[in-house]
Structure formats: structure tokens, C-alpha cells
């Protein structure tokens, strides 16, 4: 796939979602025009999580105040994600306009087009200044994501793009494909949490990146070189897990194993 084809394919992932949502079963799935079924990445991870992780989640859900806490956490995450998305999208627009005017785009070995990182960082700063204020409940989390973006993102390739992989039956939406500290592209997932996430939970997030990386390559031919999980906290710097190229390939393999296990579980339930 040529450079222009890759760029067009990547752009289409942010604007077109060819799968149809189906809520008729016990959990949400997606279907393509051939009626192939795709299960969400997050659902697959939940159903194939280690037993102790599942047990901890069930205990939390059984607490009397858990529904309210869950709603608050979801809204907090939504607002922080929306802020990061706004800053990145507006920055990409500013950088694109500046680079087009000056004719300073260049194509990397990976087939992705980039403008000089100083232009991207200028666009990010300008976008952050123009971004709407985030409500108090989520402001600390949004600030954590924003600080990471402003300090470390050096190229913006895609924001909020949806992927799926035929033959394996999974689909999901990645938060961003960017360069970090002059390297990339990185598949990135933004998270929020009151407390530091455990190693088990961070591993779950890494496997999620593996899924998105597989879907991205399948649909565009673009191979993410690295991954990043950024967990924003109420205050202070975010918890960051960067995946090397080898670690991201490993996360892809682990996720495929979990997909196989998930489909075996579905078959066993169907027999019962």
C-alpha cells in the first residue's frame, strides 16, 4: 500500500464506521455487510481477565455506593477524554494549515506524513489556550492528559479512530496515533483513575493497545512502532506505561490468544 493510500485509509478510520451496532443480544456486538460479528475489545478483555481481577471487580460492583461511583468515574473519564481529543484535533488543524502554507510536509519511512515537530508543538500550545474550561470534577484529570500531550507529542496522525479485524471478530476505538518525543507512531490510550493502577490492570490496557495495533495494520497497512498508556490522576503527573516495539508485538500476540479463549468460552456457553 502506497503512502497516499495509507494516509487515506487512516483518515477514513476517523470519519467512517462501516460496522452496524447490534444490541439485540446479551451484550453489544457489531456486524459488517457480510453479517460477520465483531465483539468489542473491552468486552473481550473483561471476559478473559484473570480470576482475581474479575473477583475484585465483582466485589466493587456489589458495594452499595458502586453505581454512583461508576457513573462519576465514567463522566470524569468522558470529560477528560473529550478535552484531550479537542486539543489534539484543533492542534492538528493549526499545524496542517501552517505546514500547507509553508510547504514543509515530509514523508517518513513508515509512509506517514509529518510536519516539523516545532510546528506541531506550536499548534498544541495554541489549541490548549483555546480549549474550553473543563468542569471542576474532571479538571485535574484533563490537566494530566493535557500536560503529557503538550510536553511529549511531536506529531499527530489520527485521533479517535475505529478499527476491526476480519477473521478474529473484534472491534474497538483507539484514542490516538501520534509521535512521542520524536518517535513513532505510537498507539495511545488515555485512562483516568483516582489511584495508581495495578500492574494487572496496566497489562490489561497494554493488551488493549495490541488489539488496536492489529486492527490498524489490517485496515491501513500502518504498523504502530510503539504504544503508550497514559493514566491521568486527580492531581500530579499521570501514570505512564510506554511499550517498546517488541512489547507491542507481544501485546498483539497475547490479545489474539485472549480472542481465541473468548470464542471458546462462547462456544461452551452455546453448548450448555
Q: What is the pLDDT along the chain (272 residues), one digit of tens a residue?
A: 666 788 889 999 988 788 999 989 888 999 999 999 999 999 999 999 987 666 655 554 555 556 667 677 889 999 999 999 999 999 999 999 999 999 999 998 888 999 999 999 999 999 999 999 999 989 999 999 999 999 999 999 999 999 999 999 999 999 999 999 999 999 999 999 988 999 999 999 999 999 999 999 999 999 999 999 999 999 999 999 999 999 999 999 999 999 999 999 998 887 65
Name beta bridge partners: 230: 190, 240
CB 190 within 8 A of CB 138: no
CB 173 within 8 A of CB 108: no
Cα–Cα dist 35/19, whole Å: 9
Within 181-249, strands assigned E span: 183-192, 226-232, 239-243
The pLDDT tens digits of the residues spanning 13-27 come to 988 788 999 989 888
Cα–Cα dist 109/197, whole Å: 35
Q: How many CB atoms lie within 10 A of CB 20?
A: 12
Is there a cis peptide before residue 99, judged by omega within 30 degrees of 0? no
CA 153 to chain centre: 15
Which residue is listed with cell 481481577?
53
With 0-12 CB in 10 A as exposed, 13-18 as middle and 19+ as buried, what is 134? buried
Give the pLDDT of residue 60: 46
Look up residue 88 and give its DSSP letter: H
Cα–Cα dist 256/229, whole Å: 19
Is there a cis peptide before residue 185, judged by omega within 30 degrees of 0? yes
Amino acid at each position: 500500500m502506497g503512502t497516499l493510500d495509507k494516509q487515506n485509509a487512516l483518515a477514513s478510520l476517523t470519519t467512517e464506521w462501516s460496522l452496524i451496532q447490534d444490541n439485540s443480544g446479551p451484550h453489544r456486538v457489531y456486524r459488517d455487510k457480510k453479517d460477520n460479528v465483531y465483539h468489542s475489545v473491552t468486552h473481550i478483555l473483561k471476559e478473559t481477565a484473570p480470576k482475581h481481577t474479575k473477583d475484585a471487580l465483582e466485589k466493587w460492583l456489589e458495594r452499595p455506593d458502586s453505581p454512583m461511583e461508576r457513573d462519576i468515574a465514567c463522566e470524569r473519564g468522558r470529560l477528560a477524554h473529550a478535552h484531550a481529543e479537542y486539543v489534539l484535533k484543533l492542534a492538528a488543524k493549526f499545524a496542517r494549515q501552517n505546514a500547507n502554507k509553508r510547504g514543509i510536509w515530509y514523508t517518513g519511512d513508515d509512509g506517514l506524513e509529518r510536519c516539523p515537530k516545532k510546528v506541531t508543538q506550536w499548534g498544541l500550545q495554541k489549541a490548549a489556550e483555546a480549549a474550553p474550561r473543563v468542569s471542576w470534577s474532571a479538571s485535574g484529570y484533563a490537566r494530566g492528559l493535557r500536560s503529557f500531550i503538550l510536553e511529549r507529542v511531536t506529531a499527530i496522525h489520527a485521533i479517535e479512530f475505529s478499527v476491526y479485524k476480519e477473521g478474529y471478530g473484534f472491534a474497538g476505538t483507539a484514542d490516538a496515533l501520534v509521535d512521542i518525543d520524536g518517535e513513532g507512531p505510537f498507539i495511545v490510550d488515555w485512562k483516568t483513575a483516582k489511584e495508581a493502577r495495578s500492574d494487572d490492570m496496566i497489562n490489561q490496557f497494554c493488551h488493549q493497545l495490541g488489539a488496536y495495533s492489529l486492527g490498524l495494520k489490517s485496515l491501513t497497512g500502518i504498523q504502530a512502532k510503539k504504544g503508550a498508556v497514559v493514566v491521568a490522576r486527580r492531581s500530579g503527573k499521570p501514570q505512564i506505561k510506554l511499550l517498546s516495539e517488541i512489547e507491542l508485538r507481544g501485546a498483539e500476540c497475547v490479545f489474539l490468544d485472549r480472542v481465541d479463549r473468548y470464542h471458546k468460552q462462547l462456544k461452551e456457553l452455546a453448548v450448555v
